[in-house]
Structure 1
Amino acid sequence: MIACRTVRVKNLLTPSKLPGVDYVINPYVGCPHKCLYCYAEFMKRFSDHTEDWGDFTDVKIPDTPIPLRRLTGKRLVISSVTDPYNAFEKRHGITRSVLEQLAGVPVAITLITKSDLIVRDMELIAGLENAEVAFSLNSLDDGFRRLFEPRAPDAKRRLAAMRRLHDAGIRTILFMSPIFPGITDFTDIIRASSDFTDEYWFENLNLDNLAHNRVARAIGRHYPGLVPLYRAIYRDGDNTFWKELAHDIADYCTQHGIAFRDLFH
């Protein structure tokens, strides 16, 4: 059972600390996808929840509309620490309300999601002046998804939604994040999606957060052969794997004429 409640907030718009992004909008606190590796668990300390991260979602009800004048000529991300199309969006429609307010506003918008629910708002998104959609995906293997993203839509649903948005003229990005060493096969994912992807973003798995122990236990239990690699990277600080992977990605994308961004850190 996922706890859900509504919370009043002054406004949905927040100045961003992300590079190249001016503002973010997170319509929810928490996320029911319950991804094992979620970096956003730090958000729990700003709430009074006792449930585990992934077992609660707060629906934000703003007291005032989005201050649209601030957004002119700016870059906006929806969302950075939640999925704007999580399961509760179907009922509450906070993200849809945000998009309706943004119609006609000269702002560059990036929506980031794992959910095919975004197809519901396809016409709204296509009507925005400058919008793109980034689908987060790091494996085509549904066994992996059930272990590490237990409540998120599977890869087939995400890719089908990407295709529909791309066919509707919406700029689509496949955000390969986070890349799991020894598990994520970037070439397989590119081959499965290149017909309807305008750009690829690549981000490595960061375990300098509260998810470290959960991921380590899951790797040890389900991928024991990868334990030495993960120890080298995350215990010993050996960045050789990431340097070689970044080189392989750049080489592959350059050879195949694929637009990409390296977001490794």
Structure 2
Amino acid sequence: MYEEVPEGVSFPKSIDDIQTLVKQANREGFNVTARSAGTSLAGQTTGGGVIMDVSRFMNRILEIDADSKTAHVQPGVIRDTLNREAAKSQLLFGPDTATTNRCMVGGMIGNNSSGSFSIKYLTTREHTLEVEAILSDGTKAVFKPLTSNELEAKKKLDNLEGHIYRSMLKLLERNKELIEKSYPHKDIIRRNTGYALDKMLEMQTFTPNGRKFNLCELLCGSEGTLAMTASAKLDLSQLDKHKLVIVPQFES
């Protein structure tokens, strides 16, 4: 069995705690690995530095808005817990992993989780509207859909967030043809082949009538390597009124 003993474990209670930890890591030179439920199968939430476990304290549902069909949650919220609350408004968060009774939103974003109903609900990426994130220098940024004017304003920021936007746009423009040629076909729903650069090319900056530019789609599936999720705004779906099980039989 794979095992790695960390130097320490942190249980942040707030966004300020995450920022303090990341800034300390920068000063002292240790790495931080984000962890929620730890249900992934490839050891993504193990590491030799400090494990930042959000499951103990950052597990609140901050808001469910039935009118906009959205939920604002902390990363330690269990998927089934969210859906029990959402069901009161006839809503649900669609992605349904096999570990749905214990997996948490932070990990679902990191893994871009899907599940057995992915044909209908697709993946976590399609349901993540905004992410309040802590960057590698300990500063906070909110990634969400941006209009052209808002994107231009982000590019002018004289900080790490501004650098991220400028660098990402240059990277995408410079490698557009290579990305389109090399990435899996768009019809393949359940895939995590590195960072979702191909998804970024579907946005308005590169595709007429595309989606608004939103770095949330890049964070989904990035396994916590780009930023720490402090909270997320999720898109909810209408709860089905009826469920039906069909058992087909075939001659063999």
Higher normalized helix content (fraction of residues): 1
Higher relative contact order (CA 8 A, sep 6+): 2
Q: Which one has the bigger strand percentage?
A: 1
Superposition TM-score, scaled by structure 2 size: 0.32
- TM-score normalized with structure 1 length: 0.31
